[in-house]
Amino acid sequence: MEFPSAIRERISELSEEYDIKTLIRAAERISEGYRSEQGFSASSREEIIAYASVRMPATFAAVSRALELSLEVFGGKISTVLDVGAGTGAGAIAADLLTDCERITCLERDGDMLSLGEEFCGLVGAPTEWVKYDISDGISERAELVVCSYCLNELNGKTLRETLERLANSTEKILVIVERGTPKAFGEIKEIRKTLEAFGMKVLAPCTFSGECKLPQKDWCHFTARASRTALHRKLKNADAPYEDEKFCFLAMTREENPVENSARVLRHPIIGSGKITLELCSADGISTKLITRKTPLFKQARKAKTGDLFPMEK
């Protein structure tokens, strides 16, 4: 899904308040924090503008794709959303565009991130209410869809467990967690999944089943979302390409049985040969490689399949 142009334009206006070198240095600090797998805690307003320029389009693309894949399986209506660690509003805006929600509550502890997020949500008419709040003090709000993107990676041990319990208790229908698409983050997502299962939740996506992950220990499950880059973004990242591919891991949890438990998830880019397609699939039965030829009834569907899609399992 395309990042809203009204927000792009506002980011470009805001960047004019700063000398470009100041923003480049701020963007480098953010990239360095990202590479070293630390979280992002803004230390200045220019860092927040740099975050909105170089990270928000990518986090928006990743959350949008994670929500699309989760809502496709869920299939129901969402009227209320809670975005936890909402930052500049990427998750709230994605949820607004992908659901018919009437109310979105955004919890954010940093006052400057919050003001910018509130302004961006106003620009696109997202029905948000922003609350300056540190979730380590508990979460009293509840919503049908709870989104927590790029926020849990700084937590571990008891604090992470308590936060997950709060997120589970706040969720009326679906909880969607999005994190960086790295082997380390995938390991963390597997632990998060175990903890949430212990709180009685079940996996909705990307897995079509609950319980142990079927991937071999050294492998990692991640997805990609494409975000286009503005001229400002390219300048701040010293990059030429007009887009970037954001790798992300995600987890959608619910309390209901998974409605697509007889389907598989396409794990990698399909290999297309003459009259045949090879898919790598993950399902409750494990990881399998499936060769689909023209004679197979699923050939048409296999031809359209992309990484992350659901694919039927023949019994």
Ligand X SMILES: C[S@@+](CC[C@H](N)C(=O)[O-])C[C@H]1O[C@@H](n2cnc3c(N)ncnc32)[C@H](O)[C@@H]1O
Q: Provide the binding-site residues for ligand X, judged by CB under 6 A.
A: 39-41, 56, 59, 63, 85-87, 90-91, 107-110, 113, 134-136, 149-151
Question: Residue 86's Cα: distance from chain center in Å?
Answer: 12
CB atoms inside a 10 Å sphere around CB 191: 13
Pick between residue 114 and residue 292 the one whose CB is nearest to ligand X: 114
Query: Among residues 113 and 225, whose Cβ is nearest to ligand X?
Result: 113
Tell me how far, at minimum, the Cβ of 200 lies from ligand X, in Å: 24
**DSSP bridge partners of 82:** 105, 146
Distance, first Cα to last Cα, the chain: 34
- CB nearer to ligand X: give 110 or 118: 110
Which lies closer to ligand X via its Cβ, residue 40 or residue 186? 40
Q: Is 125 helix (H, G, I), strand (E, B) or coil?
A: coil
Chain center to CA of 5: 20
CB nearer to ligand X: give 34 or 243.
34
Closest residue to ligand X, based on beta-carbon distance? 87
315 Cβ contact list (under 8 Å, min separation 6): 262
Q: Which CB, 41 or 289, lies closer to ligand X?
A: 41
In the complex, what is the shortest distance from the CB of residue 86 to ligand X, in angstroms, rounded to a whole number?
A: 6
Minimum distance between the CB of residue 262 and ligand X, rounded to whole angstroms?
32
Q: Please say which residue, 117 or 270, places its beta carbon nearer to ligand X.
A: 117
Q: How far is the CB of 288 from ligand X (least distance, A)?
A: 33
CA angle 295, 269, 146 (to 5 degrees): 115
> Least distance from C-beta 134 to ligand X, angstroms?
4
Query: Over the range 34-67, which residues count as b (16 or more CB within 10 Å of their CB) and which as e?
Result: beeeeebebeebbbbbbbbbbbbbbbbbbbbbbb
10 Å Cβ neighbour count for 286? Answer: 10
Contact indicator for 22, 189 with CB cutoff of 8 Å: no
CB of 198 to ligand X, least distance (A): 22
For residue 302, the minimal CB distance to ligand X (Å) is: 33
